[in-house]
Amino acid sequence: MSALLESYAAGRWFRAADDGEPLLDAATEEEVARISSRGLDVAAMVRHAKDTGGPALRSLTFHERAGLLKTLAKHLLEHKDELYALSARTGATSRDTWVDVDGGIGTLFSYASKGVRELPNDTVILDGGLEHLGKGGTFLGQHLYTSKPGVAVQINAFNFPVWGMLEKLAPAFLAGLPTIVKPASQTAYLTELAVRRIIESGILPEGTLQLVAGSAGGLLDELTVQDSVDFTGSAHTAGILRRHPNVLDGGVVLGVEADSLNCSILGPDVRPDDPEFGLFVKGVVTEMTVKAGQKCTAIRRVIVPSATAGQVVEALAARLAEVTVGDPRDPDVRMGPLASLSQRDEVRKAVEALRAGTEVVVGDPGKASPFERGAFMAPLVLRARPGVTEPHEVEPFGPVATVLGYDGVEEAVALAARGRGSLVASVATHDPRVARSIVLGLAPWHGRVLVLDRDDAKESTGHGSPLPVLVHGGPGRAGGGEELGGVRGVMHHMQRTAVQGSPDQLTAITGRWTTGAARAESGVHPFRKSLAELRIGDTIASEKRTVSRADIDHFSEFTGDTFYAHTDEEAAARNPLFGGIVAHGYLVVSLAAGLFVDPDPGPVLANFGVDALRFLTPVKAGDAIDVTLTVKQITPRVGADYGEVRWDAVVSNQEGKPVATYDVLTLVAKTW
């Protein structure tokens, strides 16, 4: 008897007391492992996540959490070979495993990088700018995101045992939420191996990742408000979870990604000898055969102009004839078996249901598998009769697609919408007008839309690849959930709160200087202070400088910016906003830099940009400007001997009116 998979629960590996259920190799039907969660104390797991994992994670800043994700990604790269070897037992070819294992590790790297570049080195995220709620500037509002003291439970489908876990783990981890993973039993041995390698590395703080191998048991019963469940799988199971009392009344947030009848549309402009025709056919065949079509994003409905449908079918038949089906360990094999015999039975049942409204045009559903064992199935293309409903309702979760004819862009969009909401759609067209009308028609029904043409084909990641930086999820039938999408996926796990208060209070709460809060002028120029010495609110208020007409003329000549408002008296006088010659905005900010810098070598290493530059009042010859520069935010960079300092800059005129406001971004040495 093969080994019983273990759960990782409350800081130790747990083995069930019974023998468990066998899990079979998809190709050979040999037993790979056994699975059971009988006796697993899920309540203790939830407590452990909240008492140990959550506090440890929330004591780290976003940058520190991102650093751990990067270390974890590198660690898993070292274990790719054994993950690949075990993945073959799920029926995955090495091309399929690349999507699962490398795709999962790539998602960790992507979130590690986004976490450092787009999130603060803090534990709070500010959302949007300040809202001024009173005329005197003493009452302001600021939205912010904080981590929840809960647990993120993920319940995953069988088809991506590694990616499925990592794509949910990375954003939750960055958000400060510990995770409990419950993989689908069928392929849980691969998830268990990945979790084992993660746990033994010691990279993640204890309690931030736990594993349920086997049934979820009463896990949902233990969850409460502040907890979330992210589910990927069948609409049937999603329905059970939606009706759970803790979801209905207990405040548990449920995210669902369920069945999805994705489509690909061939534009009406595309002729069989256009590059887009070949790209379209290739895309459909790829989606039918990668993971043997067991992908939530696979193309199930092939929507083509009625007049071209015959040629599309011929081209699909020719390409599919080149697909070798067999043992996924054989490097010449393009498509392995389905994940299990029961999964193949499900697909066969779905094909039977589809046949009512379709005819088989490529492949033979009645043909027995040439292999004695294993869940093999050859690709099948069906062609729908006009007006039938089955292809819009039945999801064959395998290498099966249905061709549907359309007449006119409106009908193509209407057919796509009959799927009642999908994860992804693609359109092959080289006509921008067709692209606009189809994409805008598809967008309300889909989470992602790919426009494929000769210009992007070479770099395109294809119809079926969810990317960490783009939203993954879809409305309606696809479940209504949303994952990934870069930092959107992180916010999704956090609580947004509108905080109202005075500038000083908001500065203290957010860690970011707020307009109107106290400034500190110590007599030492802040450019003389290292990152360790600088404090939020440190300020330099400059001398005044009068802007002369000679300055404006010189700037025009020197830079070549001779726009009439700076050079032509008469034309400038007719300008309704200026009524005469005005200084260039860039002259104003250049003069401001001259007013605030401390020129000698010091801890300020570089200026790497400005944010939110606005010119508010025109500056004319004779106006006297000054600038106030205040430390707004200090972000030490992990692993570097410098950090970022964001300075609030306000340039004012002799009447005290602001003429320009912006944030100056600098790099400052940690010590000097």
> Least Å distance between CB 154 and ligand NDP?
9
Binding of ligand NDP by 155 (CB under 6 A): yes
Residue 166 CB, nearest approach to ligand NDP (Å) = 15
- Span interacting with ligand NDP, options 155-163, 191-199, 513-521, 535-543, rule CB under 6 A: 155-163
Q: Does 215 bind ligand NDP (CB under 6 A)?
A: yes
Q: Which of 234, 460, 502, 539 binds ligand NDP (CB under 6 A)?
A: 234
Locus of tokens 């996926």 = 489
Tokens of 12: 């130790």
Find out whether 412 and 406 touch, Cβ atoms under 8 Å.
yes
Please state the closest distance from residue 493 (CB atom) to ligand NDP, in A: 19
Q: Pick one of 49, 184, 198, 434: the residue that binds ligand NDP (CB under 6 A).
A: 184
Residue 104 is a binding residue for ligand NDP (CB under 6 A): no
Residue from 107, 210, 260, 422 binding ligand NDP (CB under 6 A)? 260
- Does 154 sit near ligand NDP (CB under 6 A)? no
Query: Segment near ligand NDP (CB under 6 A), from 93-101, 114-122, 234-242, 263-271?
Result: 234-242
Q: How many helices (H) and strands (E) does the chain have?
A: 21, 27
617 binds ligand NDP (CB under 6 A): no
- Taking alpha carbons only, the member of 273, 263, 262 closest to residue 430 is 273
The answer to whether residue 233 forms part of the interface with ligand NDP (CB under 6 A) is: yes
Binding piece for ligand NDP, criterion CB under 6 A, among 151-159, 330-338, 460-468, 613-621: 151-159
Contact status: 257 vs ligand NDP (CB under 6 A): yes
Question: Can you tell me the distance from the alpha carbon of 498 to that of 464, in angstroms, rounded to the nearest whole number?
Answer: 38
What does the per-residue mask of binding to ligand NDP show for 395-424, with x meaning CB under 6 A? x-x---------------------------
Angle between helices 188-201 and 80-87 (to 10 degrees): 170
Q: Which residue of the set 296, 395, 483, 644 is catalytic?
A: 296
626 binds ligand NDP (CB under 6 A): no
Q: Does 472 bind ligand NDP (CB under 6 A)?
A: no
Distance (Å, rounded) from C-alpha 157 to C-alpha 167? Answer: 13
3-state secondary structure 256-317: EECCCCCEEEECCCCCCCCHHHHHHHHHHHHHHHHHHHCCCCCCCEEEEEHHHHHHHHHHHH
DSSP 546: E
**Catalytic site includes residue 263:** no
Among 157, 382, 413, 619, binds ligand NDP (CB under 6 A): 157
CA distance 64 to 122: 9
The C-alpha atoms of residue 114 and residue 108 are separated, in whole angstroms, by 10
Out of 111, 158, 445, 615, which residue is the one contacting ligand NDP (CB under 6 A)?
158
Query: Can you tell me the distance from the alpha carbon of 148 to that of 179, in angstroms, rounded to the nearest whole number?
Result: 12
Asked whether the beta carbons of 250 and 238 are under 8 A apart, the reply is no
Whole-angstrom distance between the N-terminal and C-terminal Cα of the chain? 65
Q: Which residues participate in catalysis according to the annotation?
A: 257, 296
- The binding site for ligand NDP (CB under 6 A) comprises 155-159, 182-186, 215-216, 232-234, 237, 240, 257-260, 296, 346, 395, 397
